[in-house]
Amino acid sequence: MKTILRGLTFLTLMLVALSASFAQTKEDVIYLLDGNQKKGKVVSIGDDIIKFSYTGEEVQYELKRQTVDKIVFSNGREESFRQPSTESANTSSGVMTNTANTGSNQLAVIPFEIVSNDQSLTTDAMRREIQQSCVDALKSRSLSFQIQDPRSTNATLTKAGIALSDVANHTPDELAKLLQVDYVVLGMYDIENRGTMSFGSGNTTYSDKTKDNKTKGTATQSNSTYTSTSYDTKVQLSIYDSMGRQLFSDTREPFLGGLDSYKGALKTLAKRISIK
């Protein structure tokens, strides 16, 4: 009998220890709008800032509330921070009506993705430069879109923790909701460095020439060389609505490639946009 009681006591203690162990391993999980997760303990939730600590640490970290999608607490409770979508569909007429975000037919041009065998060209400065050229090309058309200031677009992406080089990992509808616009423009600039070619020329002049022989005297030589880099380029441009539907997509390969050949290509692509 005593043996049975000892066995039951030991089993009870084991169950209590296991329960405590499981309870200690439970974590709060913070889901961010950019797809990342933070696991640990949520300390506080303020109007603008959410404070948390990683598991096993006492240091407190801060997250901007606007970058958080939702929090799933260790007890199973879930709290959402995503702004409610105002998209509506007129199913009776079979027409999808986009009233999301601004309702002002606003469009945002996302910094372009750059694909190149020359890594010195895949910089954020280059992405922003192409983005601005695309904005200028669209503004030259009589389109009804209100184009969001690129600086506002980029600032919102940065605050959400999205690097310009990481934009391709996010869907058009995610970007539209984050930027609170009705349409987004996504593009890619493919530029291949074909190599460099050097050209040179020389010239010889003579001083102290004689009347009978123009090649006599002191010879002075001058040489000049220059180097040219050849590129093959391609620009791809797509427009999506806030529901992720593709409304326009086209590609342009400039005949004469150059670092800034995207400017002419974007103007051509802008002229091809048929949506108003």
Higher-confidence residue of 21 and 32: namely: 32
The average confidence (pLDDT) of the chain is: 78
Specify whether 76 is located in the same domain as 105: no
Specify whether 75 is located in the same domain as 103: no
Q: Is residue 8 part of a domain?
A: no
How many domains would you assign to the chain? 2
Mark 117-156 as b/e (b = at least 16 C-beta within 10 Å): eeeeebeeebbbbbbebbbebbeeeeeebebbebeebbeb
Specify whether 109 is located in the same domain as 173: yes
Q: Is residue 65 part of a domain?
A: yes
Specify whether 185 is located in the same domain as 71: no
Specify whether 116 is located in the same domain as 30: no
Q: Which residue has the tokens 């039951």?
A: 8
Amino acid occupying residue 214: K
Which of 34, 51, 80 delimits the end of a domain?
80
Q: What is the domain extent for residue 143?
A: 98-193+229-272
Specify whether 142 is located in the same domain as 68: no
Specify whether 52 is located in the same domain as 102: no
Q: Is residue 161 part of a domain?
A: yes
pLDDT digits (tens, 9 = 90+) for 122-133: 888 989 999 999
pLDDT digits (tens, 9 = 90+) for 82-131: 765 444 333 333 333 344 444 568 999 999 999 888 888 888 898 999 99
